[in-house]
Amino acid sequence: MSTIACDIPRSALDEPAWRALCETAAAQATKGCGLSHDYYVERFSSAIDAQLGRLPEEQRAQALKIAQE
């Protein structure tokens, strides 16, 4: 999965890049879930949580809201 570069502080979340990351995470979670919704949620949530930690604190709430869409 690709990552969003967060070394340089930014005032706004790069929404198109974050949405693309969420779509990739969803596709990867689907491929490995064996049609289990619970396992899909676990895999998707884990991937998103790993990426949220790389974002500045002030962008995390918005990023999480997008991921929940």
pLDDT digits (tens, 9 = 90+) for 6-65: 555 556 999 999 999 999 999 999 997 888 999 999 999 999 999 999 999 999 999 999
Q: Are 51 and 6 in contact (CB under 8 A)?
A: no
Domain ranges of the chain: 15-68
For residue 3, pLDDT beyond 70? no
CA–CA dist 52, 55 (Å, integer): 5
Q: What is the pLDDT of residue 4?
A: 56
Tokens of 3: 């990552």
* pTM of the full structure: 0.78
Q: What is the pLDDT of residue 13?
A: 94
Q: What is the pLDDT of residue 11?
A: 66
